[in-house]
Amino acid sequence: MDKFKINFDKAACINCSACISVCDNWVMDDNKAKPKKTTLSEKEFKSNKEAEDICPVNAIKIEG
Ligand code: SF4
């Protein structure tokens, strides 16, 4: 069961691709990043947490 939820501020994204380089849940969509899935299992949390940490504008927040 998914325990974590991604809260993504798409408007804040500056299209730097950093999240995509560290986590395969993140893709580019129309010049903005986009998470393939927004709820995460414990296993998926780690790389998404890296995406959260690397985002220069704090657009990615993981709750849970
Ligand atoms: S790291 Fe942040 S600013 Fe860069 S593409 Fe990902 S969400 Fe956008």
**Ligand 1 centre distance from Cα of residue 28 (Å):** 9
**Joined tokens for residue 36:** 């393939």
The rounded distance, in Å, linking the Cα atoms of 49 and 31 is 22
CATH class of 4-63: alpha beta
Q: What is the pLDDT of residue 1?
A: 81
**Ligand 1 centre distance from Cα of residue 3 (Å):** 23
Would the CB of 6 count as within 6 Å of ligand 1? Answer: no
**Joined tokens for residue 60:** 């990615």
**Ligand 1 centre distance from Cα of residue 9 (Å):** 10
Residue 48 pLDDT > 90, yes or no? yes
pTM: 0.95
Would the CB of 33 count as within 6 Å of ligand 1? Answer: yes
Domain boundaries of the chain, sorted by first residue = 4-63
Q: What is the pLDDT of residue 34?
A: 98
If pLDDT is split at 50, 70 and 90, which confidence band does 35 have? very high
Name 60's bridge partners: 8
